[in-house]
A and B are shown apart, each in its own frame.
Chain A
Amino acid sequence: MKNTELETIEEKQISTFDRVSEVLIAIFSRPSGMIGFSIVILHIIIAIISPLIVPYDYKEINSLIMLKPPNETFFFGTDQLGRDVFTRTLMGGRIALFVTFFGTIIAIAWGGFVGIFCGLVGGKIDDIVMRIIDAFLAIPWILAMLLIVVILGTSTQVLIPALGFFYGKGIVRVARAATHDVIARDFIMAAKARGHGNFSIIWNELLPNVRDAIMVEGAMRWSWMLLAFSSLSFLGFGVSPPTPDWGLMISEGRGLMSFAYWSVIAPIVALSSLIIGINLSADAFAKALGIDRTQKAPV
């Protein structure tokens, strides 16, 4: 008895590992997937090690070297306060990546759980939850985020759960739809007949089957969260000034870009490349897992 149990566990582990490597190979065999993945990984590495490699202090103000064009001491030039744009660009993704990464994890966790649960139990609970989700979908993201930021402030402790909550609502729908696809299968009936509880069914039977759809949707949410986060910074409702952040850098440099375009170009390239990288990876990820997500609404 014990022997067979061990065997099945071992078999399961090998198959998960095989599957992960299979998916990774499928992603990397597409040019778009490989480019996207490399960009994202490069950004994450830069975000982690940037404090060690940047040449200058990101908040050091020097009025003697204001708005210098790119040269060999300041690779990307300096901004209106004489700060090194290269340093600030390298460090500009740290907070954005940190906040949106954990926001995505929260969104996947609560959205996935609520979605699967609603799909499983159905009935009144499902109806009520879906109506509330619909109502939240009807509020434009920018208005909701602005209200939250004005009410609770812009610290990371506020932004992570706020973004996580607001962007989880779309995952609820995806998880629920994916659950509906498998709920009528025999193995769910079998689990119910064996007398398993709802949570056991969710964890052991449903989660492995809807995981792919949730992960792909989560990857998409990540890029939208990044968009929301940097839009907030750009509008002046995000991180506060001395902090290096791409959205903030673009909004600060925008007024002077007629004669100092370099202070805007660097953060624009950095932020766009990260968002495009995430999107390309998400698309390749979806194709590798066999999910067509172009049909999904962009909500």
Chain B
Amino acid sequence: MFLLILKRLGLGLITIILVSVIIFTGVEVLPGDACTSFLEREAKGELLEICREKLGLNVPAIERYLTWSYNALNGDLGFSLSGQKPISEIISVRIRNSLVLAFTAIIIGIPLAIILGIITALWRDKLPDIFISTIAIFSMTIPEFISATILILVVAIWLNWLPGIVIVSSNTTILELLPNIILPVIAISMVMTAHMLRMVRSNIIQVLSSDYVQMAKLKGVPYWKMVFVHVLPNGLLPAINIIALTIAWLLGGVVVTEVVFNYPGLGRLVIESISDRDLPVVQALALILALIYVGVNLTADLLTLLVNPRLRTLQIRK
């Protein structure tokens, strides 16, 4: 058990290191360097030298990678080029904003997905299932920027209920932020709920056709008792991993949604920093997003191990 957790942690660490190498090389092969792209083409001679000196660009790439990762480990992500502020300062505000968005979406999305998933599985191929599943297919396949645009068009422009775009600066308080996040949260939780719902549904259907449920039926266990005691606990266990994967997958989609709604979160920072060629920020963002991905997956793995004792031995045998 302990060894298993250690192994998972080790694998996560390796992934993070590889990601940092991939991103560093990716940024490294960009034509020009941070200084030439930041100071625009006209930069030459002395100014360029000073900038390179300041950022330490005149040492070999490997050495720079090592110092960068060493500093990142200590929470120092360097300086942004455009804002001339410490990156950790810029990013921490944005992370907070994105977390507000993500948590609200998760709080609404997960219970909704589980309830709808159970309903669709129990009334499989009947009217409620067909209705909910069709809506789910629509909301999970339509690109985020389209569902967001439709939401703005219908709710903000035609019905005039809510403001269409968020116009707050990035460092407002959470309370001021909350009224602005309704539409983005709907856009994000729609996709998330649809994904989770489908997987919860197929898990429960699988459990419903398993031997022990058949056995319970034959023994004459009342239907609802069977559902709550035998089916749901086993059917919802795999949902932990599914939720983790969905959250991690959403990281990409959230970027687009944030841009559409002009929401000052991590996602918009990704686009802004790439448009500005603010390479130190891009590097830092990639590292943080990868950390979130690995962290969420790791937590899910450990949680599953914790609540499902059968897996522990299975995993070791493997």
- CB <8 Å contact, A131 and B137: no
With A271-B146, A275-B143: A143-B19 Cβ-Cβ less than 8 Å: no
With A261-B153, A271-B143: A143-B270 Cβ-Cβ less than 8 Å: yes
Q: How far is the CB of A257 from chain B (nearest CB, A)?
A: 6
A25 to B245, CA, bound (A): 34
Give the secondary structure class of B's interface. Answer: helix
Say yes or no: is B187 at the interface (Cβ < 8 Å to chain A).
Answer: no
With A135-B19, A250-B146, A292-B202: A141-B270 Cβ-Cβ less than 8 Å: no
Q: Which interface class (under 10, 10 to 19, 20 to 34, 35 or more) fits B?
A: 35 or more
Give the residue among A141, A143, A251 with the most B Cβ atoms within 10 A.
Answer: A143
Report chain B residues within 8 Å CB of A118.
none
* Stretch from B96-104, B281-289, B302-310 forming part of the interface with A: B281-289
- What is the number of residues of chain A that contact chain B, defined by CB distance less than 8 Å? 45
Say yes or no: is B145 at the interface (Cβ < 8 Å to chain A).
Answer: yes
- CB <8 Å contact, B285 and A143: yes
- CB <8 Å contact, B22 and A139: yes
- CB <8 Å contact, B195 and A275: no
- CB <8 Å contact, A147 and B145: no
- CB <8 Å contact, B142 and A272: yes
Say yes or no: is A189 at the interface (Cβ < 8 Å to chain B).
Answer: no
Report chain B residues within 8 Å CB of A237.
274
Give the residue among A231, A258, A298, A299 with the most B Cβ atoms within 10 A.
Answer: A298
Among A243-299, those with CB < 8 Å from B are 247, 250-251, 254, 257-258, 261, 264, 268, 271-272, 275-276, 279-280, 283, 292, 294-295, 297-299
Say yes or no: is A230 at the interface (Cβ < 8 Å to chain B).
Answer: yes
Query: Could you list 14 A-B pairs, sorted by A, with CB under 8 Å?
Result: A134-B11, A137-B293, A142-B252, A142-B255, A147-B282, A230-B145, A231-B144, A250-B145, A250-B146, A250-B149, A258-B157, A272-B146, A275-B141, A295-B199
Interface residues of A (CB under 8 A from B): 131-132, 134-143, 146-147, 150-151, 223, 227, 230-231, 234-235, 237, 247, 250-251, 254, 257-258, 261, 264, 268, 271-272, 275-276, 279-280, 283, 292, 294-295, 297-299
